[in-house]
């Protein structure tokens, strides 16, 4: 596989989870995590060339290095490439971006954690790979992709049977397990988690007020313990149906001030152009507050603060 370039200077959010107080009291499904919508459709992608295809500025590796912790992945099977060829499983939005699961996800994740652990200490970041959508797949393709994921990520994978553990328990008893593979299809006997529940307003949302009303509705919803849930904070701009830059609105909506802040109603927050906003910094602060609340009320199921 092609070697991935890594900068020598670490971004400010490179290991924000390790640096956030009280995070050890939360389970993975209780975290407030910044995600990127259509993570494999970025402006550096080799195949994309029309505005409606682009959703992120940076490649998945740089998204991780800059603090994004949930990658929203849509995978296309290109049966012209045999099993074992990196181009067999490609990332897509409307069409293939030219990015592959083998190089731009598996190798990128391994490179990210190798960089974190270069000092010798186990990494404390958690990354969720949300395999959300599949195109041209059959049962054999699912089996091949899952085998590739779990074989190559190996001991990095957090198996589903550990979903009730807090981060503190994972860090103490299973150091080096950092990756949740969330797979929105039958997993067979593999150790992946159930697919992330995606709360999505629909593909024809062009009005910011309409989007906010939908997000308000999601804020009121009950989330089942131990399951992953994401809100897709995304809309499109006419006439090209290109993803809208909502950075200023995200900073307004999800500003973290105290335990009553709006962001406390959410878990995974996916958006387009994620690195343009202060979402990651707000998630860091919000998790510190949520972790402190969990420490004070260890048996409380964390649910929306506004009704």
Which residue segments constitute the domains of the chain, with CATH numbers given?
A: 23-296 (3.20.20.190)
Round to whole Å and give the CA distance between 85 and 269: 33
Residue 305 has pLDDT above 70, yes or no: no
Range 68-94 average pLDDT? 95
Residue 41 confidence (pLDDT): 93
10 falls in which pLDDT band (50, 70, 90)?
low
Q: Average of pLDDT values for 77-99?
A: 94
Q: How far apart are CA 176 and CA 170, in angstroms?
A: 9
Q: How many CB atoms lie within 10 A of CB 195?
A: 17
DSSP result, 48-103: --SGGG--BSS-HHHHHHTT--EEEEEEEE-TTS-TT-GGGEEEESSSEEEEEHII
Instruction: Look at residue 307 in the predicted model and tell me its pLDDT.
Output: 33
What is the tens place of the pLDDT at every residue in 13-41?
A: 999 999 999 999 999 999 999 999 999 99
Helix ranges restricted to H, the chain: 60-65, 101, 108-116, 139-153, 167-173, 208-219, 247-253, 279-296
**pLDDT tier, 8 (very low <50, low <70, confident <90, very high otherwise):** very low
Please say whether the beta carbons of 182 and 228 come within 8 A.
Answer: yes
Distance CA 162, CA 29 (A): 11
Sequence-separated (6 or more) residues with CB below 8 Å from residue 14: 65, 66, 67, 116
Matching residue, tokens 């979903």: 163
**Band of residue 182 on the pLDDT scale cut at 50, 70, 90:** very high
Any residues with CB less than 8 A from the CB of 258 and at least 6 apart, and which? Answer: 289
Distances (CA, A) of 305 to 14, 19, 258, 279, 293: 29, 25, 11, 19, 12
What percentage of the chain reaches a pLDDT higher than 90? 79
Q: What is the pLDDT of residue 186?
A: 77
Does position 216 have pLDDT exceeding 80, yes or no? yes
Judge whether residue 196 has pLDDT over 70.
yes
CA 133-225-149 angle, to 5 degrees, is: 35
- The share of the chain scoring above pLDDT 70, in percent, equals 92
Mean pLDDT of 150-179: 96
Q: Two tokens at 71?
A: 């990658």
Quick one: pLDDT at residue 301? 61
Residue partners of 118: CB distance under 8 A and separation at least 6: none
Position 87 pLDDT exceeds 50: yes
Residue 268 pLDDT greater than 50, yes or no: yes
Report, as an integer, the average pLDDT of 121-126.
94
Q: For the residues 205-213, what does the mean pLDDT come to?
A: 88
**Residue given tokens 């992330």 in the structure block:** 196
Per-residue pLDDT band at 306 (split at 50, 70, 90)? very low
Q: In the structure encoding, which two tokens stand for residue 82, read together?
A: 């045999």
* Tens-place pLDDT, residues 291-303: 999 998 776 666 5
How many residues appear in the chain? 307
pLDDT at 5 over 60: no
Average pLDDT in the chain: 91
Residue 227 has pLDDT above 70, yes or no: yes
Nearest to residue 98, comparing CAs of 27, 162, 139, 48? 48
Q: Which of 103, 107, 242, 272 is nearest to 179 (CA)?
A: 107
Q: What is the pLDDT of residue 137?
A: 95
Contact between 218 and 231 (Cβ < 8 Å): yes
DSSP conformational letter for 264: G
pLDDT-derived band at 304 (thresholds 50, 70, 90) equals low
- Whether 221 shows a pLDDT value over 50: the answer reads yes
């Amino acid at each position: 596989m092609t070697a991935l370039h890594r900068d020598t200077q670490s971004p400010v959010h490179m290991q924000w989870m390790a640096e956030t107080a009280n995070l050890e009291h939360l389970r993975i499904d209780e975290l407030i995590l910044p995600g990127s919508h259509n993570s494999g459709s970025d402006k550096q992608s080799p195949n994309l060339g029309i505005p409606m295809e682009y959703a992120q500025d940076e490649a998945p590796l740089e998204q991780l290095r800059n603090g994004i912790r949930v990658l929203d992945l849509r995978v296309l099977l290109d049966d012209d490439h045999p099993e074992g060829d990196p181009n067999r499983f490609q990332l897509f939005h409307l069409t293939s971006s030219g990015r592959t699961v083998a190089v731009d996800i598996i190798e990128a994740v391994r490179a990210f954690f190798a960089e974190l652990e270069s000092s010798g200490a186990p990494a404390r970041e958690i990354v969720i790979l949300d395999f959300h959508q599949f195109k041209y797949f059959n049962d054999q393709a699912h089996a091949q992709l899952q085998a590739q994921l779990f074989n190559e990520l190996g001991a990095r994978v957090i198996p589903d049977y550990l979903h009730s553990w807090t981060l503190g328990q994972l860090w103490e008893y299973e150091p080096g397990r950092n990756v949740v593979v969330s797979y929105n299809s039958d997993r067979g006997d593999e150790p992946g988690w159930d697919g992330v529940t995606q709360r999505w307003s629909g593909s024809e949302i062009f009005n910011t007020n309409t989007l906010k009303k939908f997000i308000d509705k999601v804020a009121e919803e009950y989330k089942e313990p131990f399951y992953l849930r994401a809100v897709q904070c995304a809309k499109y701009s006419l006439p090209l149906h290109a993803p809208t830059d909502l950075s200023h609105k995200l900073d307004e909506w999800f500003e973290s001030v105290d335990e009553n802040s709006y962001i406390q109603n959410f878990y995974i927050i996916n958006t387009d152009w994620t690195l343009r906003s202060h979402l990651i910094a707000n998630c860091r602060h919000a998790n510190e507050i949520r972790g402190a609340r969990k420490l004070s009320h260890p048996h409380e199921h964390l649910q929306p603060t506004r009704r």
